[in-house]
Structure 1
Amino acid sequence: MSLLLALALQASLVAPEVSRIPAADADQGVAAGVRDLYAIDNNVIARIDRTTGKTVARWEGSKTYYPHINSCILKGQRLVCAASNYPSVPQASSIEMFDARTLKPVASRSLGPGRGSLTWLDWHQGSWWACFAHYGKRGGEPGRDARYTTLVRFDANFVELGAWLFPDSVIGRMAPYSASGGRWNRDGILYISGHDLPELYAVKLPPAGTVLEHVATIAVPTGGQAIDWDPIDPRILWTIDRQQGFLVSSRVPPVLPAK
């Protein structure tokens, strides 16, 4: 590890809280739109007016078909959600799509078993980026712990283009759980959240090899789970306070020098 990277990882970066909105369904994650926010909880999605804080639509699905929706992103007029069969094994995953206004299910794509448990999905540079988690406890498969968590890049038709492991410095902070949330930012950095700790991990693709590079760790006002960037302000990050039931925004400082 270079001296500059070592200093970066030790730096005390803090994302101060900006606002919070009550959301009883905020247990797995949050998705952010220009006019609405979405609280996610396993088989429940609530659409919340970000100006008034009122829930304007709510969907609750069968736990048989939707045992564990982990996270969602807003893409066009759809919510595209990463889902899994957690805590069942073998781990299997699917992508569930909903109308962003009515929250009615509109499509489903089963990915089946193989990679792990799909915790988050993002669209960046013309590709889908998906995180398949592994756990060192409940919900994990024998012989595989958090170190096997994998970032996979797919094309628009979900043909695999590449895959990377997470660095030990990040896995060690998330274990025995894994990467519950992740989003690319406009600065070209991928920001990762774990399951519990109030931290955000900034990583980037390596110039070669199979392991992502850990750029910085940022303190955030809430614990882990799924996250989303605000579409209006690129440095505002939405997270959830699952204990208190809030959607929380914070301002994330730049992790790289301005060009």
Structure 2
Amino acid sequence: MFGVLLLAPLLTLTATEVRRVPATDAGQGVASDGRYVYAIDNHSVARIDPTSAKVVARWDGDPAKFKHINSCTVDGGVLICAASNYPDVPMEGMIERFDARSLEHQSTRQLVDVPGSLTWTMRHDGAWWACFANYDGRGGTPGRDHRFTTLVRYDDRWREQARWTFPDTVLERMAPRSASGGAWGQDGLLYVTGHDRAELYALRVPVRSGVLEHVATITIPTGGQAIAWDARDPRLLWSIERHTHELVASRVPEVLPK
């Protein structure tokens, strides 16, 4: 089930930093609705005006109930977040829904029969897409490691439709951790980050289940963690610098020819 080495030359590109926004809650990831950005931590979310860095809404959850929120995405007026029970095993995946304006928590959906720890999810092309991490060491399932990181497509009722594994050229860069962030680009490619490296991986998803195709590696200004495209600017990527608690916007060059 492991990926195979891509023999064709890979594109190597570099993103250009545009701005930084201080955010105390920038511990796990960032989301964007085009007007505001959302700083995400294990059990807190802040809605921030990126121009003034002012926090306009904030949610604090009970750490016993909300153990590890990994990432969020804005879908209409709803903030949809991927959460897990990391570092506990067996691994679990939960979908947490919030009102995107007030950040009032709306619901929790527990996913069943998950192949790892849920790190990110988003809607694309009429389906839900979710990534399940597997790790070497702490937080990992015995007998599995980072090579079991899996992308799954679900229908509207969260019934599994297909799944893909990651290519070795990406897995070796993410080791010993996994895929922490992911977001579909308007160019039809899936962009994924690992846990630590300051890199963004552009991937092509085959129509049927199989192995994702590694198209390009893009250097970004921050380490891994969860990412988001700006909802109003399709090549402006938001990421986080968790050590300095900042949201960082960078301009990502086109990967596919126009």
Distance 2:28 2:119 in 1: 10
**Taking structure 1 as reference, are residues 209 and 122 closer, same or farther at Cα in structure 2, changes over 3 Å only?**
closer
**Residues 188, 159 of structure 1: CA spacing in aligned structure 2 closer, same or farther, 3 A cutoff?**
same
In the TM superposition, what is the alpha-carbon distance from 1:201 to its structure 2 partner?
0.3
Q: Is the 8 Å Cα contact of residues 6 and 167 (structure 2) preserved in structure 1?
A: no
**Greater mean alpha carbon deviation, residues 203-212 or residues 57-66:** 203-212
**What is the CA distance between 1:53 and its match in structure 2?**
1.2
Deviation at 1:208, TM superposition (A): 5.4
2:111 matched residue in structure 1: 111
- Runs of 4+ with >2 A deviation: 206-209
Equivalent position of 2:30 in the other structure: 30
SS in 1 for 2:234: coil
1:210-221 correspondence to structure 2 within 5 Å: 210-221=210-221
Structure 1 runs not aligned, ≥5 long: none
Q: Which residue is 1:88 aligned to?
A: 88
Q: Secondary structure at the match of 2:156?
A: coil
Aligned residue number for residue 198 of structure 2: 198
How high is the TM-score relative to the length of structure 1? 0.95
Counterpart amino acid of 1:222?
T
Long gaps (5+) in structure 2? none
- Which residue in 1 is equivalent to 2:249? 249
Contact 2:40/2:46 (CA < 8 Å) preserved in 1? Answer: yes
Tell me the TM-score normalized by structure 2.
0.95
1:17 aligns with 17
Who is 1:171 aligned against?
171
Structure 1 pair 208–43 and aligned structure 2 pair: CA distance change class (3 A): closer
CA distances 1:168-211 after superposition (whole Å, capped 9, x unpaired): 10000001100000000110000000000000000011355510
**Which residue of structure 2 lines up, in the alignment, with residue 55 of structure 1?**
55
C-alpha distance in 2 between matches for 1:43 and 1:83: 9
Partners in 2 of 1:56 and 1:2 — Cα distance?
A: 46
| Structure 2 CA distance for aligned equivalents of residues 191 and 252 of structure 1 | 11
1:58 Cα deviation from its structure 2 partner: 1.0
Q: Which amino acid aligns with 1:155?
A: D
Distance change >3 Å, CA 112–CA 209, structure 1 → 2: closer
Aligned residue type for 1:14? T
- How far apart, CA to CA, are the structure 2 residues paired with 1:205 and 1:12? 19
What is the CA–CA distance in structure 2 between the aligned matches of 1:113 and 1:188, rounded to whole Å?
Answer: 28
Q: Give the CA deviation at 1:12.
A: 3.4
Q: CA RMSD in A?
A: 1.3
Q: In 2, Cα distance between the equivalents of 1:157 and 1:54? A: 37
User: Corresponding residue for 1:230?
Assistant: 230
SS in 2 for 1:171: helix
- Who is 1:70 aligned against? 70
**Offset at 1:2?**
7.2
Q: SS of the residue aligned with 2:111?
A: strand
C-alpha distance in 2, partners of 1:213/1:136? 23
Amino acid aligned to 2:63: K
**2:201·2:216 contact (CA, 8 Å) conserved in 1?**
yes
Instruction: Kindly indicate whether the alpha-carbon contact (under 8 Å) linking 2:6 and 2:213 is maintained by their aligned counterparts in 1.
Output: no
Residue 135 (structure 1) aligns with: 135
Q: In the TM superposition, what is the alpha-carbon distance from 1:112 to its structure 2 partner? A: 4.2
Structure 1 position 123, deviation (Å): 0.8
**Secondary structure at the counterpart of residue 234 of structure 1:** strand
The one-letter amino acid paired with 2:82 is A
